[in-house]
Structure formats: structure tokens, C-alpha cells
Structure 1
Amino acid sequence: MTASTEPTDKRSLRRAFVASLSGTTLEYYDFAAYSVAAATLFGTLFFPSGDALVGTMAAFSTYAVGYLARPLGGFIFGRLGDKLGRKQVLVFTLLLTGIATFLIGILPTHASIGGWAAVILVLLRFAQGVGVGGEWGGAVLLSSEFGDPKKRGFWASAAQIGPPAGNLLANGVIALLAAVMSKAAFESWGWRIAFLLSGVLVIFGLWLRMKLEETPVFKKIAEKGEAPTAPLKEVFTKEPRALIAGILVRVCPDVLYSLFTVFVLTYMTTELGMSRSEGLTAVMIGSAFQLFLMPAAGALSDRINRRTLYTVGTIAAAVWPFIFFPMASTGSFLAVAVGMVIALAIHALLYGPQAALITEQFTARLRYTGSSLAYTLAGPIGGAVAPLIFTALLAAYDSWFAVALYLVATAVLTGIGIALSRQAPEEEPVVTTAETVEVAR
């Protein structure tokens, strides 16, 4: 690299990092706003019944729809990302998620239009899921393909900071609205403000992404005419082990995150008698720490074996619920907040290096498709059904112990994924042919 080109390259790298971070933050703000509302409000507003548990289960069912829709987004946008480029696809995913969230903000409730409210809500949640499903793979590549492959863990973590940042922003907005408004006003119309803000945030995100250039890796692939014509088929036929490994390593972190950012809100209010604001505050504190822990964990994975670090995080995830729930049972907000910080720190240890671990399993020309499929196909067996299963286990056994055992089972699946995965060579991305080695470089 010459002195004349270095400033431009560094500027492009920084711009890509910010665009990746901000884009995923905006999309996960949308996703998290729904998650919080599902745990605290939507059961009553859109799925009213005489049984609070039934209403919560119904609301969590629409939460699951967002995850179940992600594979469709992965199939559609992952394929387009490897054929057309990273930048164009990321503009579409941001628009899709943002518009769906804005429409939720103006959606009439069950009291106004009856059962159609629930139907439309499910459709909009589905659209959110499709957008997020296509977002992650491209956002990861946006930052990592501009950066040094030896520092892929750090640069790829830009997209990983998005979920806690979006979660923090969504919880913060909803907590602020709940604090400054009466309970009646907040439940009547105040919650809508959090969803309507998405429109403003999307405009900002689009402005950032439209200023970006295509990644150097995809430019070289396009110049050599190496873009795949059937990326979905190639991933399933030529790189199945990479796909299975990528799916399984996501399961435990997804379930862990659902446990401590979604289900715990319900557990604290229904089982511990704590207020909604206390639950949201605890989640916000834990998410704030993740903003720094995510890139730190990504950078750490560049220095030590990524698979070893991931194994340590998986074991910690399996153990922590057996410590957290006895702490939380005291009803002390301090105990819950500390427990939440540690839980989300463990999640950061997994999630920070996860993007690099998954993307480096695939060749450069199939990386968007492979990464997107791994990310989205993990949802239906991980985060999508986790709140439903947690709620059902708590209702059936009236004990947190069954909830903790479920997380242990998912940790076993992730352990299998780690065993199937491979560590990328430090000097170059994972590739399979001499031609794609040159392209990736």
C-alpha cells in the first residue's frame, strides 16, 4: 500500500465499520423494540384473553415469527449479495426492516379492528425478520472485507455490536417513555413513539450506506468474473460442513440472549414481583457493557485460537443460569443487574468473535450466502422458540431449573458446531482454490 492510497483506504475502512455498526444497530433497534413490547405490552393489546400467560405466549409467538422469517431473508439476500454485491443488498434490507417497524407504530390494536390487528402484526413481524435475515451476513462482510484478515475478529465485530446497541437504544427509549408518561397513556399510545422513531433512524442509515463503495473483495471477484451463478446450490453441495458448523455455533448464544433480554423481563415481573422499569434498566446496563466487550472479544479472538475462546464462552453460558436464578430470587435489583451484566458479558465473549468464526468457514465467493444461511437457519432451533419454551417450562415445572437445563442442551449443540468448525489461517481468508485465494487477497 502506498502513502498516497493509505489515507483513502483507512477512510473507507472506518466508513465501512461505522456503516456496518450503525446499520445493524438500527435494524436491531427495530427488532428489540418489538421484543420488549412483546414481553410487556402486546399480549394485552393484540392478543387479549382472560389468561395473562396465554396472552404472553401469543405475543411471544409473533416474536418467534421474526426468527422463522430470517431464513427467507438469508436465502433471498444472501444469494443477491454474492451475485450483485454487498452494498446494494444492505440498502434493501435496511428499508424493509425500517418500514415494517414504522407501520407497527401506526397499527390499530385489537380493540379497534379485532383479530385483523394480530394478523397484520404477524405479517409486519415477518417482514422485520426477512430484513434482518439478509442484513447480518452483508454487514459482517462490509467491515471485515475492508480490513486486515489478521484482524478479522475485531473488524467483523462491528456488526456484532449492533444487537446490544439496538437493544440498549430500544430499551432506553421505551423505559424513558414509560417513566415520563402515565401507565394508561403509555399503554394506550406512548409505546408507538418507539416504533415511529424508526423512520428517522432509517433515513440516517440510508445516508451512510449510500456513501459507501463496494468491498475490495467483491470488486476483485466481479473483475475476474468469479461471482457464483447458483450460490445456494454451491453452499449446500460443496460446503455443507461449514454450513452445519455455522448453524450450530449460533444456537447457544441465541438462546442465552433470548433468556436474558426477553424472557427475564417476564420472569422478573411475574415471578419476582419486580417492576417493568427495573427489568428494562437491568437489560440496559448489561447491554451497555456489551458495547465495549463485543469488539474486545473479537480482538481477543485474533490473538488466541477463536475456537478455544468460543468453547470457554459456551461452557460459561451453560453454567451461569444455575448461579443467576438463585441470585435473582432474592428480589434485589442489584443482584439482578449484576447477574445480567455477567450473563451478557458471557454472551459478548461468544458473539464478539462469532461473525469472524462463521464467515471464515466459507470461500470468498460464497461468503454472503453461506454466512447468511448459517445465521438465519440457526434461528428456528435457537432464538425463535426459546422464549416460548422458557415460558412453557416455567408454567409446567414452576421452577427455573428446567429453563437452565434447556440452555445446557443448546450448549451441547454449539459444542458440536465448534468441533466441526475450522480455524482460518491467519494470513488469508478461508478458500478452497488457488483462484479464490488470489481473489480473497
Structure 2
Amino acid sequence: MTSPTTGGGAPLGRTPLQRVVTASALGTTVEYYDFTLYSTTAALVFNKVFFPESTPLVGTLASFATFFVGYIARPLGGLVFGHFGDRLGRKNVLITTMLMMGLGTFAIGLIPSYASIGVAAPILLVLIRLIQGLGMGGEYGGGVLMALEYSPRGRQGFYTSLVHIGTPAGVLLPVGLVTLLTTVLPEGAYDGWAWRVPFLLSVLLIAVGVYIRLRVSESPEFLKMRADRETQRLPITELLTGYGGKVVLSILAKIAESGLYNVYYVVAVAYATTHLGLPRTPILMAVLIACVVECLTLPIFGALSDRIGRRKVYVGGALFQVVLAIPFFLLVSTGDFFLTTLAMTLGLGIGHGAMYGAQAALFANLYPVRMRYTGLSATQQFGATLGGGLAPLIGTSLLVAAGGHWSYVALYGVAIAVISSVSASRLRSGEAAHPTSADTQEMAHR
């Protein structure tokens, strides 16, 4: 059997590829561990800890405003770290971004409450979120590109979708911890002090992630590009002048993937626990089950994108969520555990899974290697800010405007899913679904 090759044509053993995918997935896990833990705690506790003088729903809205602050910094972080990733390499940038994200999560667990230090508490929270946002802005692009640029061309969808398993895993870990703590501890303990425990435990993920990343070699495609002296002094300049249309379309295509993820998880959890008054544990368990399902469906959709094309899978996932928007909230509104689990599974495991499984290979292949980190980071971070960053704020505001009813939120979900499906359908150069001749020979022997 012939040896598999990277996108650049260099021979590649299985161990380096597995190590790269593991390191990249851990980075994604740390990223979503933070954002999931923060959004969960914002929905359940932060309105009491940092904004105690507000009504519950308004306090939750204020908590989600600080959640959005982290997203505001992500585009800047993406452009800054994307520049250095394209100029100096992917590996060292990724170690820096992981430390910024993880140590920020740990620091949130140490912030005194509003009752202890007054307005300084939410101010500290905002500052830490800004630092984290900068790190997160550079994390995704580099992690995905390491996996993509080590992978055979005909398997890029599959291997980059494995990196994305870090997203549901980054949900499973904090939600599992929150569920455990709220279940086993006495009434009021979680709200009083135990919410800090998952933030402090993040230091374990950082240690493992940094250790693995130190053992990973630089991307072979970047090394080839540097050897050929093709690096750009200012990748952002060429990106904006030559690829501006693709950047705009990919950002619009990204909005629904990121936004609907937070509608299903963040807004729906806040709606169920705050407005409907449902107990936390069953809602969080429904999310956990949906995340387990998505861990399984992501590589399936990634492999499918290798076979039939990235755009088809991505657009299909967006259109599925157009149809799902109203039934999702109808199911959650019943308060029934099994129907809520079904809603979360359809939203996260199928709709989001299809888009997210195909996303990395679709967007990364829009740009040449010399500006790929910058281009992918711009797509990811501006799209995530407009989608996932605004979704909790917009969703909660729409709940308030509708007197707690979900109808406006469902219409918002339909709108962004339509926008993303139309935009993604116009991304003509991101397919890269057809393998090279070497890859075809290699796969024929499998």
C-alpha cells in the first residue's frame, strides 16, 4: 500500500497525523469548555453573583452582554494571530492562544462576587473576557489548519471534523460538571461557591493541551511555503484586495452555524430554567445527550463532505434548521425530558453537526496557504461574533420583548439559517472534495 500524503504531497505516517488531530481537538475543547462553562453559568448563576440588583431575566441579559464581550475581541485576535501564523508558523501561535484561553478561564473562578468588591467584580469579568477573546480568535484557525495541512486531500473533511469533536466535548465536560455539582451538593451550594470549581479545574486541560502541542511538528504545507519563500509581509492586504468577496460570503455562511448553536444551547437553557421555571438538571442532561450524539455525527458528516462536496452538506444542515426552528421550541416548551432531548439532539446532533462537520474544509480551502490562517480566522471570528456572540443577547432580548414567548427567537433562527444557506451556496471554490491521484491510489488500497 502506498503511503498517505499530506495536502502538500509529503509522506506522512499515522502517528504525526493522530497527534496533530488530538492536539487541535484539545484546543477546540479548551475553547468551548470556556464558552460553554461561561454561558451555562451566566444562564444559571452570574445574574446573582455579578448583577444581583437586576430582575432575573434582566440580570441574565447583563450576563450575556459580558459573554458577548469575549466575542468582540475574537476578530481582532483572529487577525493578529492569523498574521503571525501565516508569517511565522502555526505551532508557536497555538501554544500562546491556548494559554490565554485556559488561564483566563481559571482566573474567572477566582473573581470575588459583587457582594464582596462591588462594581469591580463585573469589570474584572469583562477584562478577562477580552483577553480570552483575543486568544480564542487565533485558536480555531491554527488548530484546524494543522489538521487540514497534515491530512490527505481526499480526507480533509473527515480529519478536520475530528477536530470539531472538541466542541461537543467542550460542552460535555463543563455541563457534566455543573450537572454533577447541582445534583450532589446541598441546596444553594452551587450558586454560593461551587460554580467556581469547573473554572478552576480548567487548568488540567491546559496542562495536557500544552504538553501535546509542544510535541507536534510545524505544518508541512507551511514549511514548504516558507522554503519556497512565498510568505507575505501583510497577508491581510492580499486577503482583502483579492479575496474580499469570499470573506464576506463565508462570514455570512458562518452566522447560522455559530448562532443557532447558541440559540439551542444558551438561549433555550435560559428560557427553560428562567421563564418556564423548569429544573436545571433535566435540561442540562438533554444537552449532554445531544452532545454525545454530535460527537458521533460530526465525523460522519465530515466524511460525507469528502464524498459529495462541502457545500452540499453545509447548505443541507442550514436548511434542516430552517425547518426545525419552530418544532424545536414547541418540543422544549412541553417541559418533557424526552421531547426536550429530542429537540436538542435534532438541533445540535443533526443540524449543527452537518454544518460543523463540513465547515473547516469548506472555509479553509477558500484561501491559499500563504494567507490561509488569516483568511480562515477572519471567516471564523467575524462570523462567530455576528452569529454566536450576538445570539444569546438577541435571543434573550426577543424573549423579553415577547413577554417570555419563544416565537420571535424561532423567527430569528429561521432568518439567519436562510442567510447562511444562500451565502454558502455561492462559495464556489471551497469544495476541494476531489482527491489527488496519489490520494486516490492510497484510498483504493483501503
Distance in 1, Cα, partners of 2:41 & 2:383: 23
Q: Indicate the residue corresponding to 1:74 in structure 2.
A: 78
Distance in 2, Cα, partners of 1:225 & 1:293: 40
- 2:94 paired with 1:87: no
Deviation at 1:416, TM superposition (A): 3.1
Taking only aligned residues, the RMSD between alpha carbons, in angstroms, comes to 1.8
| Alignment-mate amino acid for residue 387 of structure 2 | G
| Alignment-mate amino acid for residue 379 of structure 1 | A
Distance in 2, Cα, partners of 1:235 & 1:4: 31
Deviation at 1:427, TM superposition (A): 4.9
Aligned mate of 2:345, from 317, 336, 341: 341
Q: After superposition, give the CA deviation of every residue in 1:192-250 in whole Å (9 maximum; x if it has no partner).
A: 11000111210110000000000110010111111111011111111112211221111
Q: Indicate the residue corresponding to 2:134 in structure 1.
A: 130
Q: After superposition, give the CA deviation of every residue in 1:34-63 in whole Å (9 maximum; x if it has no partner).
A: 111111110110011241121111001011
| Alignment-mate amino acid for residue 155 of structure 2 | K
Q: Indicate the residue corresponding to 1:293 in structure 2.
A: 297
Aligned mate of 1:178, from 179, 182, 196: 182
- 2:107 paired with 1:103: yes
| Alignment-mate amino acid for residue 415 of structure 1 | S
- 2:431 paired with 1:424: yes
| Alignment-mate amino acid for residue 413 of structure 2 | L
Deviation at 1:358, TM superposition (A): 0.5
User: Which residues of 2 match residues 21-420 of structure 1 at below 5 A?
Assistant: 21-344=25-348, 345-398=350-403, 399-420=405-426
* Shift in alpha-carbon separation, 1:24–1:380, aligned structure 2, 3 A: closer
| Alignment-mate amino acid for residue 230 of structure 2 | E
* Shift in alpha-carbon separation, 1:104–1:323, aligned structure 2, 3 A: same
Structure 2: where are the runs of 5+ without partners? 437-446
Q: After superposition, give the CA deviation of every residue in 1:338-393 in whole Å (9 maximum; x if it has no partner).
A: 11111112100111110111101111111100000110011332111111111111
Give 3-state SS (helix, strand or coil) of 2:144's partner: helix
Q: Name the TM-score, length of structure 1 as normaliser.
A: 0.94
Give 3-state SS (helix, strand or coil) of 2:388's partner: coil
* Shift in alpha-carbon separation, 1:3–1:132, aligned structure 2, 3 A: closer
Give 3-state SS (helix, strand or coil) of 2:188's partner: helix
Q: 179-188 or 133-142, which moves further after superposition?
A: 179-188
CA contact under 8 A between 1:251 and 1:414: conserved in structure 2? yes
Instruction: Give percent identity, aligned residues only.
Output: 42
Distance in 2, Cα, partners of 1:234 & 1:361: 13
Q: After superposition, give the CA deviation of every residue in 1:88-111 in whole Å (9 maximum; x if it has no partner).
A: 110000000011111101110101
Distance in 1, Cα, partners of 2:267 & 2:433: 39
Q: 338-347 or 87-96, which moves further after superposition?
A: 338-347
* Shift in alpha-carbon separation, 1:394–1:3, aligned structure 2, 3 A: closer
Distance in 1, Cα, partners of 2:176 & 2:293: 14
| Alignment-mate amino acid for residue 360 of structure 1 | N
| Alignment-mate amino acid for residue 270 of structure 1 | T
Q: After superposition, give the CA deviation of every residue in 1:8-30 in whole Å (9 maximum; x if it has no partner).
A: 62211111111111121122112
* Shift in alpha-carbon separation, 1:402–1:87, aligned structure 2, 3 A: same
Deviation at 1:2, TM superposition (A): 7.0
CA contact under 8 A between 2:68 and 2:390: conserved in structure 1? yes
CA contact under 8 A between 2:73 and 2:137: conserved in structure 1? yes
Q: 94-103 or 157-166, which moves further after superposition?
A: 157-166
